[in-house]
Amino acid sequence: MKLRAAIIGCGGISRCHMAGYKALSDRVDVVACCDIDLPKAKRYAEEFGIPADAVYEDYNEMMAKETLDLVSVTTWNAAHCGATIAALKGGANVICEKPMAMNAIEAQAMLDTAKETGKVLQVGFVRRFGGDADTVLAFSKAGALGDIYYAKATYLRRSGFPGGWFGDLAYSGGGPLIDLGVHVMDLVRYLSGLPKPIQAFGVTYKNLGNNRASGGEQAWAASTAASKYKYDVEDFTSAMIRFDSGLTMLMEASFNLNIAHDTGNIELMGTKGGLSFSPKFEIYTDMAGRFINIAPQGNTGFDFTRAFNDEIRGFVDAAEGKAPCRAPAEDGVILMKMIDAIYESARTGKAVDII
Ligand SMILES: NC(=O)c1ccc[n+]([C@@H]2O[C@H](COP(=O)([O-])OP(=O)(O)OC[C@H]3O[C@@H](n4cnc5c(N)ncnc54)[C@H](O)[C@@H]3O)[C@@H](O)[C@H]2O)c1
């Protein structure tokens, strides 16, 4: 029998989840959807063949009326916690988009509910499913990097505020740190053996605001961009995080910054070798007394469509007990603790211990 899936939050990124489910049409049917914007949910249902009587504006009502195995929570960040807990309690396995929640307290409540209900709770750390991540893990497993002790992670946009609720603290919980930094900070942890963060020092700036040349017009713009939202988040964050393994990570993320061009890169430096994702995937080491730069062949990049399809397939496999969850809620809680600590450090000017 096929699994029954539903979407909560019929916006931009939900379409990537939908594509992932459609690619598994022999195993999954998407049978219901929900959005507080009911006309939007109705249009969505029509486009994707969801029956008209299975369209909801209240996720509690949907969970009460439908029998569901899988739920994608793809709302804005402020609704992640409530929607996830309702879906878990309603008997579904859940994949919740990143950031897992507004803060670590909410994330912990979500994890606790997953444990109580015995359901899978996966966090939308889609970068874990890229060809670049797979390549790093393969080389790391083969010992090519040794112990990774320093990492640089950047997700910098010169002018890339996604618009709408993304700039409104009450809906987003923060700016580029919680929106973009979360991706690369998780990726560094994932690629370096999931060390435990112990301390963070961070700075945030609100110098450029959202008043930039191309805000809200890019491919990553929210489907809800509207003038009713405030812009009261930071536009740039830089942070240094120490881990129990001895790893230190330097992270930078911006919506707006006076730089030449957008950059997104992961650099890992280990005792035997280092690597960089950009401008091309390369591993740096030495052999026979010479420095060598190794360029692995095959899929070493990040393909958005492929990664989302793999992420959803991984979620469905985990829900069916066929494979362990590759982005478990425990890691989402740890990421939220890192984010909370960076914001607190930026507020207080002091390094903050992460417990
Ligand atoms: N993994 C990625 O690469 C990636 C990329 C973009 C966005 N995201 C994340 O996905 C989430 C959604 O982002 P988006 O760009 O799709 O935003 P969006 O504004 O396009 O869509 C969000 C939708 O959620 C709906 N919604 C809000 N509260 C709701 C509730 N209580 N019940 C039902 N629906 C509700 C809104 O009406 C809206 O239609 C965010 O958490 C964002 O951080 C992840």
Which atom of ligand 1 is found nearest the CA of 225?
19
Q: Is the CB of 40 under 6 A from ligand 1?
A: yes
57: CA distance to ligand 1 center in Å?
A: 14
Q: Is the CB of 313 under 6 A from ligand 1?
A: no
Q: Is the CB of 76 under 6 A from ligand 1?
A: yes
78: CA distance to ligand 1 center in Å?
A: 10
Instruction: Name the closest-CA residue to atom 3, ligand 1.
Output: 126
CATH number for the segment(s) 128-302: 3.30.360.10
350: CA distance to ligand 1 center in Å?
A: 33
Q: Is the CB of 84 under 6 A from ligand 1?
A: no
Instruction: Name the closest-CA residue to atom 38, ligand 1.
Output: 11
349: CA distance to ligand 1 center in Å?
A: 32
Q: Report the C-alpha gap between 187 and 133 in whole angstroms.
A: 8
Output the furthest CA–CA distance in the chain (Å, rounded): 70
Determine if the pTM surpasses 0.85.
yes
Residue 55 near residue 41, CB atoms below 8 Å: yes
Q: What angle do CA 125, 110, 186 make, to 5 degrees?
A: 25
Burial string for 102-118 (b: 16+ CB within 10 Å, else e) reads: bbbebbbbbbebbeebe
75: CA distance to ligand 1 center in Å?
A: 3
pLDDT in tens, the chain (355 residues): 999 999 999 999 999 999 999 999 999 999 999 999 999 999 999 999 999 999 999 999 999 999 999 999 999 999 999 999 999 999 999 999 999 999 999 999 999 999 999 999 999 999 999 999 999 999 999 999 999 999 999 999 998 888 899 999 999 999 999 999 999 999 999 999 999 999 999 999 999 987 666 544 455 566 665 678 999 999 999 999 999 999 999 999 999 999 999 999 999 999 999 999 998 999 999 999 999 999 999 999 999 999 999 999 999 999 999 999 999 999 999 999 999 999 999 999 999 999 9
Give the residue from 151, 119, 155 showing the smallest Cα distance to 253: 155
Q: Is the CB of 188 under 6 A from ligand 1?
A: no
Give the residue, out of 75, 84, 255, with the most ligand 1 atoms within 8 A of its beta carbon, to mutate for a pocket test. Answer: 75
Q: Report the C-alpha gap between 42 and 52 in whole angstroms.
A: 7
Residue 167 near residue 221, CB atoms below 8 Å: no
What does the domain layout of the chain look like in residue ranges?
3-124+308-325, 128-302
Q: Is the CB of 174 under 6 A from ligand 1?
A: no
**3-class DSSP state for residue 123?**
strand
Cα 164 to chain center, whole Å? 19
68: CA distance to ligand 1 center in Å?
A: 20
Cβ neighbour number for residue 243 with a 10 Å cutoff: 23
92: CA distance to ligand 1 center in Å?
A: 19
Fold entry, domain 3-124+308-325: Rossmann fold (3.40.50)
Instruction: Name the closest-CA residue to atom 25, ligand 1.
Output: 9
Q: Report the C-alpha gap between 75 and 34 in whole angstroms.
A: 10
293: CA distance to ligand 1 center in Å?
A: 40
Q: Is the CB of 160 under 6 A from ligand 1?
A: no
Terminal CA-to-CA distance of the chain, rounded, Å? 44
Q: Is the CB of 75 under 6 A from ligand 1?
A: yes
Strands 70-73 and 3-8 turn out to be parallel
